[in-house]
Amino acid sequence: PPAVHRRMDFRDAPAAAATAIVIFHNHPSGDPTPSEDDLILTNRMLSAGVVMGIDVVDHIILGDQRYCSLLEAGAIPRPG
């Protein structure tokens, strides 16, 4: 299971009156390719965002001099 709990990413958003968040984390391996756990976490965060009324704009995975945007990869629906 993913190591990050949904409420950790959303804990500051309501206090800041945020209407959207961007999730990001790094892969120490240097390869930013999303893992199955990353995709599961993204879907859980999208669902939590719907319940809370906070859009998840993107989930960005950082690697060595590279990144993967799950929005750009089509794993997150484009807003609008």
Residue-wise pLDDT tens digits, 28-56: 999 999 999 999 989 988 998 899 899 99
Residue-level pLDDT at 46: 92
pLDDT over threshold 60, residue 71: yes
Collapse the DSSP code of 56 into the 3-class scheme (helix H, G, I; strand E, B; otherwise coil) and give the result. Answer: strand
> What burial class does residue 61 get, using C-beta atoms within 10 Å of its C-beta: 0-12 exposed, 13-18 middle, 19+ buried?
buried
Supply the pTM of this predicted model: 0.84
Task: Select from 70, 61, 69 the least CA-distant residue to 31.
Answer: 61
What is the predicted pLDDT for the residue at 60? 96
